[in-house]
Structure 1
Amino acid sequence: MSSSDATALPARPDRIFDRTDEWTDLVGFARDPRPGATLALVSGQRRQGKTFLLEAVSQATGGFYFDGQAAAEAESLRRLAERLAAHTGAARPPHWGRWDDAVEALLALGDERPAPVIVDDFPELVGHSPALPSVLHCAFVRMHEQRPHNRTRLILSGASPAVIRRLFAGSSSLHRLASLELAVRPFGFRKAARFWGIRSPRLAVQVHAVVGGTPAYRGDLVRDDAPAGPDDFDAWVCRTVLNPRVPLFWEARHLLEQEGDYADRALSHSVLVAIAGGRSTPGGIADRLGASLHDISHVLAVMRNHGLLHGEADAFRPGLTRYRIAEPLLAFEHAVAWPHRAALEQEDAAAVWRRIRPDFDASVAAPHFAQLCRDWATRYAAWDTFGGEAATAVRGTVPDPEGNGRLDAEVVVRGTADGRPGVLLSVGVACWNEVMDAPHLARLRRILALLAASGEDTGQTVPACYGGVGFGPELRAAEAKGEVLLIGIDRLYHGE
């Protein structure tokens, strides 16, 4: 669409926080005046506000919205007919015996004008009507051949991109027909802080380590109960995520149960506990659980496919994949809450939290802070921060022959410098709950020396310390000499 068309689009409602790009893309698609029926695929895990957004788009554009539910085909067709009759003002709902007739009626809405048709939770309908994607495919083919001026704007939504693509695997031409693929993702850590109304960066990290950037966790699941300030965090945890009377207490369990039909759900929980406890590699997880590597690899693949896990290659050992839990609430659950469920249901939450608070700092907040540092490096750091354009930031481990062990670098940044891709721009260590000083710089120097000895080009590599508490005088003096880059928690949220 032209810029003049874009300025005429309906404004995003105030009740929708952010989502500016998503709103512009969806409303622009829905109001596109050009001839030809078009298709958009919208994905988003539960609780991200996908339905809230699609309903608002439908209202703003005069579109037709239908929420798919897990029901028998005849029931779904009946519900759809009633909704369509109410939308068009028909005297009585049509009676459809099959999806072919229903799809034809929906697509006919665009015969005279751009007509948004939104089918939310589309996979729920396909569960009881597996031929539905093929029905849509055939209908679109006929539409383009017989009614090329039809302007139906069909929007199908589902839980994840993988689910949507799998549904259209047998109708690849329909998938190729999609002119818009949009993912409604959790808010990034900076937007999440604004969404929760949190000004303290340290408090923002703590809250994000519990609930991440999922918007519904504030509204629907805790009824807008946000920490009043840094001193209220512990009490907030006790009255929300550790309170059996609050829906957020049960959400992690529901999330795992609804995201996949696992053959061994107990093993899935155990894998998550192992990862939350610091075992990030398949071998380490198998060793911790006393299970076969084959069984563990299968569970990891299933959970990764459902978006519950992220797998990333080690920065210095590309053949080694490290896993982390994608949803912070799941990490919190399996690191600190899951092992103490019985106590939380029977004892005072504040007393239990006092006992497990150190576990939160070590197993939840610290690794989460390190991940936010990696996110900052690729999303917010300025070009001159590392002397190049950061492309990736991951963990890395370096064998230390003298120490008979390994040295970990939490933030290893690679990118493009002087036109060369894959340059090792920075190696950094991150500490959440301790003041960083000379020993941390010594660790960095040791890592860089080992990397150089192994043949890694470290000529442009910037040593970096990421601190959640602060930096000591020796480290500050080294920074003044240009020997190390210091990134404090305020810079994560407000600087480049």
Structure 2
Amino acid sequence: MVTRPADLFDRTIEWSDLTNLVTMAAPGIRVAVVSGRRRHGKSYVLRRLAHAVDGLYHQARELERRPALDQFALDIADHLDLDPDSLRFEDWEAALRVALGMRRSTRAGRRRHGARLLVIDELPYLLAHSPEIPSALQLLYDEAQNDPDTPPTTVILCGSSLSVMRELLAGSKPLRGRAQLELAMSPFDYQLSRQFWDIDDPHVAFHVDAILGGTPGYKQLVTAPPPATTDGLERWLAGQVLNPASALFNEKSFLLREDPRNLDKAVYNSVLQTVAAGHHSPTAIGSAVGREYNALKHSLGVLEATGFLLRVEDVLTRKRPLYYLADPIIRFAQVVIDPYRALLEERDVSAAWRAASDSYSTHVLGPHFEHLARVWTARFSGGRWGQPVGEVGPAVINDARGRTQHELDVVALARGRRRHDEKAPIVVLGEAKSTNKQRTQADLNRLEHIRQVLQNSGRDVGRAQLALFSRTGFDESLTSEAAGREDVHLVTLEDLYTQRAS
């Protein structure tokens, strides 16, 4: 049993997966691949894991091959309590053998004071000049498989470059089929983020999450806690994200540079800007960027593979996918920082914030509220719908009679049914609005009409519930109507933050 660090917030699943692997008693080498964007807490967790089991933790740096090998040798010497000048390696196979206590000669015995756990953090820095490292690990892994006397050892490879880390286990790569654990370190969900930042007011929590997302590492980069109420938001942002001296001011640029596949910066920035402005279909993105969809396929694929775009499929019909920005801080930078950079660099935050207020409401708060509505429906809404929910996402409904289309933010299918299944029961039809206006009877009428359109097309909506999500509440007429109906649900921002399924 590995003692959980007292300073580790959440990450209970990740900690359990990692410690279960490290404490396995079976002989041989086990491999884990841990990936995640910058500041998601990968290194934080792995350093504590290495400390808890007296493992060897190596933080790779952007160095050339010779200095990188020397730094690895220093960490091995420190871990094994050797003279720092006693180790020098000419290749990574030799270095890894010493780190893991594996000798070339089977007659001499393989194990000599190696690490029970070896963590190589930011592996992509090493692969840039030493692409043979996975092959060396494959060799040692296979040797250990053939030697029943090899003590249980775990090697964890970690990195922030998502495309590089995903390639480690792809196709015919050396480590394909040899990793027992592939762990993606995700940001905290919006409810955990509120706890992590210790925010009482759900409206403040919503703004902070819409700007910073659930990235725990950002908490270390701010100099003051979030305000108690939204009245203090502008002042707080002025000293933090909108401050040119803040580390978060240029975070978007740092994120884009971290992945080696993001080479065509002009195209990628144009795509991100276009998506941030509300263009989500490939056709709309191509039109705004000035390129045909086929010419953008590669760029969209790279941005998806590197974790900057989320590809979301329509729940009901097979259409071209929709693309959303995966990281709130990139969206905030595209909408608020970059267009008004000159004002912000002149420290005129008030003018910049006023100029950006409409775009912030429409292109930051709007899509984020829709996202929270989908997450809540899928994970936290419990049994209020009368049947369990499965796939949740947006959808476009064709209205042949009305010769129009209806876009819905939240559509949930019955659990166990796959999207695009025309016979799947629809559990929830919902719409989320983050405007400053209360929702009215007209919004409910629209959902009822869409439900009827779906029924006319042969969809199973016999038990479909109607959900209206609002950040600013509902008028008296709608509230009264909903109170007398079991199929209508009015969901406030407070509901999104206080209701969490067990």
TM-score, with normalisation over the residues of structure 2? Answer: 0.91
Matched, 1:442 2:445: yes
Whole-angstrom CA distance in 2 between matches of 1:404 and 1:272: 32
Q: Which residue of 1 aligns with 2:167?
A: 166
Q: Answer 1 or 2: which has greater helix percent.
A: 1
Seen in structure 2, the aligned counterparts of structure 1 residues 144 and 413 have a Cα distance that, compared at 3 Å, is same
2:426 to 403, 424, 434: 424
Report how far residue 36 of structure 1 moved.
2.1
Contact 1:226-1:236 within 8 A present in 2 as well: yes
Whole-angstrom CA distance in 2 between matches of 1:123 and 1:423: 45
Matched, 1:49 2:51: no
Matched, 1:487 2:495: no
Q: Which residue of 2 aligns with 1:3?
A: none
Contact 2:470-2:491 within 8 A present in 1 as well: yes
Report how far residue 435 of structure 1 moved.
0.8
Provide the secondary structure at the position in 1 that maps to 2:467.
Answer: strand
- CA deviations on 1:257-292 (whole Å, 9 max, x unpaired) are 223443431121111111111110010111122222
Whole-angstrom CA distance in 1 between matches of 2:407 and 2:417: 28
Report how far residue 140 of structure 1 moved.
1.2
Moved more, 316-325 or 439-448: 316-325
- CA deviations on 1:355-400 (whole Å, 9 max, x unpaired) are 2112111111011011001001111121x32222222221112234
The aligned amino acid for 1:351 is A
The aligned amino acid for 2:186 is R
Seen in structure 2, the aligned counterparts of structure 1 residues 172 and 265 have a Cα distance that, compared at 3 Å, is closer
Seen in structure 2, the aligned counterparts of structure 1 residues 111 and 223 have a Cα distance that, compared at 3 Å, is farther
Contact 2:408-2:430 within 8 A present in 1 as well: yes
Matched, 1:469 2:472: yes
Moved more, 193-202 or 228-237: 228-237
Report how far residue 37 of structure 1 moved.
2.0
Q: Which residue of 1 aligns with 2:349?
A: 349
Whole-angstrom CA distance in 1 between matches of 2:261 and 2:163: 15
Q: Which residue of 1 aligns with 2:187?
A: 186
Report how far residue 431 of structure 1 moved.
1.3
Contact 2:335-2:363 within 8 A present in 1 as well: yes
Contact 1:108-1:152 within 8 A present in 2 as well: no
Q: Which residue of 1 aligns with 2:108?
A: none
Report how far residue 17 of structure 1 moved.
1.7
Q: CA RMSD in A?
A: 2.3
1:37 to 24, 29, 40: 29
Provide the secondary structure at the position in 2 that maps to 1:422.
Answer: coil
Q: Which residue of 1 aligns with 2:52?
A: 60
- CA deviations on 1:197-240 (whole Å, 9 max, x unpaired) are 11111211111000000011111x22353223322112222221
- CA deviations on 1:7-28 (whole Å, 9 max, x unpaired) are x3212232x2221222232233
Seen in structure 2, the aligned counterparts of structure 1 residues 171 and 73 have a Cα distance that, compared at 3 Å, is farther
Report how far residue 114 of structure 1 moved.
7.4
Contact 1:113-1:151 within 8 A present in 2 as well: no
Matched, 1:459 2:458: no
Contact 1:112-1:151 within 8 A present in 2 as well: no
Identity within the alignment, %: 30
Whole-angstrom CA distance in 2 between matches of 1:290 and 1:29: 49
Matched, 1:73 2:49: no
Report how far residue 450 of structure 1 moved.
1.6
Seen in structure 2, the aligned counterparts of structure 1 residues 486 and 404 have a Cα distance that, compared at 3 Å, is same
Report how far residue 337 of structure 1 moved.
2.2
Provide the secondary structure at the position in 2 that maps to 1:175.
Answer: coil
Seen in structure 2, the aligned counterparts of structure 1 residues 442 and 260 have a Cα distance that, compared at 3 Å, is farther
Query: What is the correspondence of 1:107-126 to structure 2 with a 5 Å cutoff?
Result: 107-108=100-101, 115-126=116-127
Contact 1:260-1:306 within 8 A present in 2 as well: no
Q: Which residue of 2 aligns with 1:242?
A: 242
Moved more, 113-122 or 446-455: 113-122
Stretches of structure 1 that go unaligned for 5 or more consecutive residues are 1-7
Whole-angstrom CA distance in 2 between matches of 1:141 and 1:199: 53
TM-score, with normalisation over the residues of structure 1? Answer: 0.92
Provide the secondary structure at the position in 2 that maps to 1:243.
Answer: coil
The number of equivalent residue pairs is 486
Moved more, 253-262 or 363-372: 253-262
Whole-angstrom CA distance in 2 between matches of 1:394 and 1:49: 28
Whole-angstrom CA distance in 2 between matches of 1:461 and 1:38: 47
Moved more, 424-433 or 250-259: 250-259
Whole-angstrom CA distance in 2 between matches of 1:170 and 1:280: 31
Query: What is the correspondence of 1:6-45 to structure 2 with a 5 Å cutoff?
Result: 8-14=1-7, 16-45=8-37
1:102 to 95, 110, 113: 95
Provide the secondary structure at the position in 2 that maps to 1:376.
Answer: helix
- CA deviations on 1:412-450 (whole Å, 9 max, x unpaired) are 111238999832111101111221120100111121122
The aligned amino acid for 2:288 is R
Contact 2:35-2:184 within 8 A present in 1 as well: yes
Report how far residue 317 of structure 1 moved.
3.1
Contact 2:118-2:156 within 8 A present in 1 as well: yes
- CA deviations on 1:447-471 (whole Å, 9 max, x unpaired) are 1122222222211211110111111
Whole-angstrom CA distance in 2 between matches of 1:138 and 1:171: 15
